[in-house]
């Protein structure tokens, strides 16, 4: 498999060389968006795949067919990945894209067309746990070492994809300027129905009650875990090693409590306070 062990450096970020080249990253940063496009933005392990499934199901009005017959990376391709062009559709109407890139890299391209942006955040303690497990099974990341080693890199932003804190702050700084819909993984868990109403209104894609129920059913963790078009089991084992873990791991809120020592949690809270304390943004209990 190509470039599994390589790291690509771009705009001060380390990214997996298996999925990114300088060319693919430059193309992403200059992408000609259209106002009708929809861009899903996440820091890795924040529930990207869940949201891709929900978006697919909203546009299909609850019909599971597209979600069950087309891989998620073709339904909502990553702007910055090397294979992006393969999946780029020139059709009219909303095109769905995904990105993990920071706002500063995409700002110029997005300001030109102002597409709809959905920013999904997750409690960073749970992100760190999920990311750690993912780095152990996905061979396009360096070996994360112990959880303690990984956590220190996560806190100082030297992990692949950079600092969680900078990612969130950067994207939320453009909330007013851009047409940006902010939501958390925790809110999806708490009230998926209420969230679907708000998101479908934002997208201008109203849903009937039966359609809402179908979306909830087909985007559930249990359903997605069985869906080969969403659970990444189609990826060759030398790229994602199923003997080391599953992509659809637990899908719960608060798993950090099973991984963090009291010292690690205290250090995390301290760094969170330093980084986010005075940024003036409301995260609606993200760290509870
Ligand atoms: P865990 O590792 O905590 O289980 P991403 O898609 O951004 O890589 O995020 C992956 C995380 O989202 C994983 O978290 C995965 O289990 C979780 N996830 C995926 N689909 C989900 C769903 N339908 N419901 C809840 N969590 C889901």
Between the CA of residue 42 and those of 127, 244, 272, 288, what are the distances in Å? Answer: 11, 24, 18, 20
Of 130, 131, 224, which is best to mutate to test ligand 1, by the most ligand atoms within 8 angstroms of its C-beta?
Answer: 130
Q: What local confidence, expressed as pLDDT, does residue 283 receive?
A: 67
Determine the pLDDT at residue 1.
Answer: 55
Ligand 1 pocket: which residues have CB below 6 Å? Answer: 42, 44-50, 126, 130, 133, 219-221, 224, 248-251, 255
One-character DSSP codes across 202-243: HHT----HHHHHHHHHHTSHHHHHH-TTTSSTTS-TTTB-TT
Locate all alpha helices (DSSP H) within 38-163, ordered by sequence. Answer: 48-59, 65-69, 72-75, 84-87, 103-113, 124-137, 147-156
Answering whether pTM is above 0.95, one says: yes
Catalytic residues: 100
User: According to the model, what pLDDT value does residue 285 have?
Assistant: 66
Q: Which of 16, 40, 41, 45 to mutate to test the pocket of ligand 1 (most atoms within 8 A of CB)?
A: 45
CATH 3.30.70.3040 fits 7-276, yes or no: no
Q: What is the pLDDT of residue 26?
A: 98
Token pair of 277, please? 């304390």
pLDDT at 67: 97
Q: Could you tell me the mean pLDDT of each successive run of 10 residues in the chain, 288 residues long?
A: 86 96 97 96 98 98 97 97 90 92 98 97 97 96 96 98 97 92 96 97 95 98 97 95 96 97 96 86 68
């Amino acid at each position: 498999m190509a470039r599994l062990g390589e790291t690509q450096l771009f705009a001060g970020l380390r990214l997996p060389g298996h999925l990114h080249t300088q060319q693919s990253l430059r193309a992403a940063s200059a992408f000609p968006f259209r106002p009708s496009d929809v861009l899903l933005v996440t820091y890795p392990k924040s529930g990207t795949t869940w949201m891709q499934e929900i978006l697919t199901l909203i546009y299909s009005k609850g019909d599971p067919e597209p979600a069950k017959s087309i891989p998620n990376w073709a339904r909502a391709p990553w702007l910055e990945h090397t294979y992006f062009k393969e999946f780029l559709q020139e059709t009219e109407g909303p095109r769905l894209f995904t990105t993990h890139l920071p706002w500063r890299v995409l700002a110029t391209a997005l300001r030109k067309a102002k597409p709809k942006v959905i920013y999904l955040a997750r409690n960073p303690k749970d992100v760190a746990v999920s990311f750690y497990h993912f780095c152990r099974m996905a061979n396009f990341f360096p070996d994360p070492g112990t959880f303690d080693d990984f956590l220190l890199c996560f806190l100082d932003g030297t992990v692949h994809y950079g600092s969680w804190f900078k990612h969130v702050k950067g994207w939320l700084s453009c909330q007013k300027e851009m047409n940006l819909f902010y939501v958390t993984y925790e809110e999806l868990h708490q009230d998926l129905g209420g969230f679907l109403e708000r998101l479908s209104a934002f997208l201008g894609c109203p849903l009937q009650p039966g359609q809402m129920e179908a979306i909830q059913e087909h985007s559930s963790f249990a359903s997605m875990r069985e869906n080969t078009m969403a659970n990444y089991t189609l990826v060759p084992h030398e790229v994602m090693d199923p003997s080391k873990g599953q992509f659809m791991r637990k899908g719960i809120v608060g798993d950090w409590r099973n991984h963090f020592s009291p010292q690690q949690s205290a250090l995390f809270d301290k760094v969170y306070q330093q980084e986010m304390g005075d940024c003036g943004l409301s995260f609606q209990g993200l760290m509870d």
